[in-house]
Amino acid sequence: MNNAPPPAEGPKPISYTLKRDAEGFFGRWRDKWLGWWQSKRFRLATYAVLVFFALILLAWTIFARNLPDAEALIEYESPLPTVVRDVNGEPFHSYARERRVQLEYADFPKTLVHAYLAAEDKTFFSHGGIDYPGIVSALFDNIFSNKRSRGASTITQQVAKNLLLTNEYSYTRKVKEAILAKRIENALTKPQILSLYLNEIALGRQAFGVEAAAQAYFAKSVDQLQLHEMAFLAILPKAPERYGRAKNAELAIARRNWVLGEMRANEWITDPQLASARAQPLGLVTQRGTGYKNIGGYFAEEVRRQLIEKFGETDSAGPYSVYSGGLWVRSSMNPEYQLLATKALRDGLLRYNAGKAWKANLGTIDVTDDEWPSRFASTNIGIDYANWRAGVALGKGRVGFADGTIARLNGGPAAMKAGDVIAVAPQGTNSFVVRSVPEVGGGMVVQNPNNGRVLAVQGGFDNRISSFNRATQAQRQPGSTIKPFVYATALDNGMTPTSIIVDGPYCVWQGANLGQKCFRNFSGSGAGPQTMRWGLEQSRNLMTVRAAAESGMDNVTDTFRAMSIGDYPDYLSYALGAGDTTVLKMVNAYSMLVNHGRELKPTLIDFAQNRKGKVIWPAKWKSCTGCRAPDWNGKPMPRFAAAGKQVMDPITAYQVVHMLEGVIERGTAVTLRELDRPLFGKTGTTTGPTNVWFIGGSPHLVAGLYLGFDQPRNMGGYAQGSSLAAPIFKQFARTAMAGMPKTPFVAPAGTRLVRIDRKSGKRVYGAWPGADPKGAVIWEAFKAETEPKRSIRQDELAARGDKPKKKTTSQTDGAASTTTSPSASVGTKRDQEFIQQEGGIY
C-alpha cells in the first residue's frame, strides 16, 4: 500500500455569467407570458382584443377616414340669393332658386325654438350629439316592423346630414352622422348648432330655414308668428310636401296638435295656450311670389346677365356667384322712371295694335286632363298691365288660371281654341273678356347723360311673356337716328351748320360687285340747296349722303366706332342707318353728345357688396362720405375730374345738339315742342318701314326707343318715328321731367354763338331771334373763325317776306356802328344779357 500523499491539484477554472436587470425583467415577463399562453382563456381574450382593434381600424377606414371636417361649419356660409336694390336702396328683385333668409340665433323667438325641440329633439341641450335611448328604440322598431326605417337623429345629426353628408337611407350614413355629430358638438356651441339647423332645414315651397318658411306659408316674419303657426312649421321637417298641401290639412292639424302637446308636456306652454292653439285652423296662404314689387323685370334680367358674366352662376364658380353668393347689388334703376317708361312703351304698343286681328301669340298648353294648372304654372307666363291676367282657354266659354280656378269667358275671337294662353280682363262677377297682347315689340332705355348710369330699361310688353330684351339685345337698323353722327363728321371736316348742301338726286358707283346705288328722300322729292341744319331738322336722306361722301365715308364709320354705335364697312348706305345696333348703344351715343363728346360707358350696376357688406365690384370703388349730408359743412367742396376720354370735339358735339333742338322746334319731332323745355332729339324710320325710332332728351335725361316686329316686316306705310315713337317719349317725358328745372344745353368753351338767317345761313346784324321757332333769325353755334362773314340786310329780309324785329332808323346793318345812339345801346345791352344768360362768351 502506497501511503504517499496525492499530488497537489492546480487551481480550478471559474466561469461567470453576467445578466442585466432588464433582461431579467423581460425574461420574467416572457416566462409569465408563456405560462399564461398555455391557458386557453388567455388566448381567447387576446384574440378578442386583437379583433376589437381590427374592427375599430376597419370601422375608421369605412366610416370615418374621409369624413368632412366638422370645424368647417364654424366658417360655414349658407347659399344665399343675390338681392338687387334700386337707386334709392330699396330691394326690388332677387335671383334665387330657393327661398332663403339667414337669421342669428337671438332673432329666433324662444317659443319657436321650443316647438322645434318638442318635434325633433327634446334633449338637445343635454345630450352630446347622439340620443342613445332613441337609437335603441329605433333599432327595435326597424327590426320588428316592415315599414321604412325609422331614424333617431338628433338635431346635431340632422345638421351633419344636411350640411356634410347626403340624404341616402342607410345604416352607413347613420354611423357617419353619429361620428360627425360628436365632432360637431366639440367644435360648435349648442346655439350655433341650432342656428345652423333653423337656417338650413328644408321646409317645402322651396323654403330653406324657418324665416323663409314663415314668409312662404304665412306671409309673416318669425317674430310675427302665433303659437299654432310656430307649431305647424315645426312639423314640416318630417314631410314638408305632405303637410304643406291644403288637401292634407287634417293630417297637418293632427301632427301640429301633437307638437303642441309635447310643448305642454315639457312645460314650455300653459294649458290655456295649448287649448287656444289647438282650436286654430292652419291659416296657410297660397303660394306667394318673392314679395318684391313687380317692377323692372327687363332691367333686373340685364343686371343678372352682367353679374353671371362677372361672378358666375352657381357656387362652383366662386364665392360670389349669383344664386348662392348672397350679394347685395346697388343698381342705377330709378323706380319712378322705370314705371313711366314701362307704361309709355306698353301704351304705345297697344295704340299700334288697336284694331288689328287677335292672334294667339302667348303659347299653348295641353288642357285635355286635370294637370293643366301645373302645366300652365310651369310656363311662368304672367301680365301686370292694368287689371289683366294671364289664363288658358279651356273651351266652352271657360278660362282657367294657374291656381286651378276656372271662370266664365265672355265671347272670344273665332281664332281662339282650347289650350291657347290668353290675356283676359275682368268683366262682371267671375267673368272675363279676352284682351290682345301686341305682337309688335319694342325697347326703351333711359340714361343720365352726365355719368352714363342707366335709369330704366323696358325690353318689351312684359318680361314674363318674353324675356328677350329688345332694349339691349335686339339688333335693329337705327334709320335716321344715326344722321347726327354723319353731320358731326362733316362738322369735323370743314363744314358748318350753315353749309349749303344740295337736296337732290344722288347716285354713286360702288364697284363692279355692287354697281350704281341711287339714294332718295323719304318723300321721294328734293328741295335743292339747303343748310345743313335744315337737312337734319327735316331728316333729308340725300343731304346726309352728300355730307357723308364729301366728308369721307371712312371718317363717318370712324365716328360710329368712336361713339360705340357699331363697326360698319365704308358704304354710304350706312350713313342712313343700314347697320344694326341696339337702343342702349344709340341712347349712350346721344348722351355722349350732351356730355360734350366725352366717352360714357352705360352702367346698370353702381356697386356690388358681399354678404358682409364689403364692396367687391368695381375694384376701385370708393364711398363718397358726406355726399348725402343735408347741409354744407363749410369745408371745401369736392371737385371731380371728368371721366372718360374725349371721343368727339366738344364744340362739334354741342353744334349737333344745338341743331337737334331744331328737330323739336320745327322738324320731324315738333310734337314734343309743347313740353315747353329745352329738348333735343331725332326721329328715325327704316326702309319698309320695319322700325320706327326716337332718341332725345334734356341736359339731365336722355331716352330712346324703337318699335318693330321681332321678325322684321312692314309696319304699314303710315308708321313713322314722328307718329309712333315720338309720342311714346312725350308720354314718358311729360311726367318724368315735370319737376326738373328748364335748364338749357350749355355750350363748351370756345363756341361762337352767332345770329343767322335760318333759311340762307347768312349772318344777321341788328335782328334778334324771337319766341317764334319758325322765325327768320336764330342763334347758331360755330367754331372760332368758321362763322359766316357776310351779313343779310333788313331790306333783303323784307323783300323775302320775312318779318324781322323792327329796328330804329339809327341802327346800322353792317359792322357795329361807331355811334353811341340809344338804339345801339339797347342792342349792346341785349348782347350783354344774352352773354350773361349763357354763362359767358363762348
Q: Would you state the pLDDT for residue 282?
A: 92
Per-position DSSP letters for 524-566, written without gaps between them: S---EEEEHHHHHHTT-HHHHHHHHHHH-HHHHHHHHHHTTS-
pLDDT band (50, 70, 90) for residue 141: low
Our measurement of the distance from residue 787's CA atom to the centroid of its chain's CA atoms, rounded to an integer in Å, reads: 48
Q: Would you state the pLDDT for residue 405?
A: 92
d(CA 453, CA 333): 9
Nearest to 692 by CA among 725, 727, 736, 739: 725
Give yes or no for a contact between 391 and 422, defined as CB atoms under 8 angstroms apart: yes
pLDDT at 748 over 50: yes
d(CA 607, CA 87): 11
As given in the structure block, the three cell numbers for residue 181 are 355629430
SS3 156: helix
d(CA 277, CA 227): 6
* Of the listed ranges 108-122, 143-157, 483-497, 814-828, the one predicted with least confidence: 814-828
Sheet containing 702-708: give its strands across: 454-458, 441-447, 702-708, 692-697, 680-685
From the list 120, 262, 599, 665, the catalytic residue is 120
What values do phi and psi take at 472, rounded to 5? -120, -20
Q: How far is CA 295 from CA 60, 150, 264, in A?
A: 56, 47, 46
SS3 186: helix
Sheet containing 791-792: give its strands across: 777-782, 752-757, 763-764, 791-792
Most confident among 22-31, 244-253, 722-731 (mean pLDDT)? 722-731
d(CA 414, CA 33): 103
Give yes or no for a contact between 479 and 685, defined as CB atoms under 8 angstroms apart: yes
Q: What is the DSSP letter of 6?
A: P
pLDDT at 724 over 80: yes
d(CA 442, CA 461): 8
Residue labelled with grid coordinates 305642454: 264
Q: Would you state the pLDDT for residue 134?
A: 67
Q: For 196-233, give one letter per residue: b (16+ CB within 10 A) or e.
A: bbbbbbbbbbebbbbbbbbbbbbeeebeebebbbbbbb
Whole-number average pLDDT of the chain: 86
Give yes or no for a contact between 141 and 150, defined as CB atoms under 8 angstroms apart: yes
Q: For 718-757, give one letter per residue: b (16+ CB within 10 A) or e.
A: ebbbbebbbbbbbbbbeebbeeeeeeebebeeebbbebbb
d(CA 813, CA 817): 9
d(CA 498, CA 533): 7
As given in the structure block, the three cell numbers for residue 715 are 309696319
Query: ∠ CA 173-178-180 to the nearest 5 degrees?
Result: 90
Cis previous bond, 748, omega within 30: no
Q: What is the mean pLDDT of residues 674-694?
A: 96
Residue labelled with grid coordinates 325641440: 117
The pTM for the full model equals 0.81
d(CA 121, CA 127): 10
Q: What are 605-657's pLDDT values in tens digits?
A: 999 999 989 999 998 888 877 777 778 778 777 777 778 899 999 999 999 99
Q: Would you state the pLDDT for residue 820?
A: 41
d(CA 692, CA 484): 16
Nearest to 769 by CA among 666, 674, 683, 627: 666
Q: What is the mean pLDDT of residues 344-362?
A: 94
pLDDT at 804 over 70: no
Q: How far is CA 247 from CA 183, 241, 251, 282, 446, in A?
A: 41, 11, 9, 12, 48
Query: ∠ CA 484-487-493 to the nearest 5 degrees?
Result: 145
Q: What are 160-206's pLDDT values in tens digits?
A: 877 766 666 655 666 777 777 788 888 889 999 999 999 999 999 88
How do beta strands 421-426 and 389-395 pair?
antiparallel
d(CA 427, CA 412): 13
Q: What is the mean pLDDT of residues 575-602?
A: 97
pLDDT at 43 over 80: no
Residue labelled with grid coordinates 347685395: 328
> In three state form, how does the secondary structure of 88-137 look?
CCCEEEEECCCEECCCCHHHCCHHHHHHHHHHHCCCCCCCCCCCHHHHHH
Residue 425, strand partner residues: 433
Give yes or no for a contact between 117 and 360, defined as CB atoms under 8 angstroms apart: no
Q: Judge whether 523 counts as a catalytic residue.
A: no
Q: How many helices (H) and strands (E) does the chain have?
A: 24, 25
Q: Would you state the pLDDT for residue 167?
A: 64
Burial of 431 (0-12, 13-18, 19+ CB in 10 A): middle
As given in the structure block, the three cell numbers for residue 362 are 302667348
Nearest to 214 by CA among 197, 195, 196, 228: 228
Q: Judge whether 90 counts as a catalytic residue.
A: no
Q: What share of the chain is helix, strand, coil (3-state, %, to 5)?
A: 40, 15, 45
Nearest to 495 by CA among 527, 532, 528: 532
Give yes or no for a contact between 720 and 692, defined as CB atoms under 8 angstroms apart: yes
From the list 153, 331, 480, 760, the catalytic residue is 480
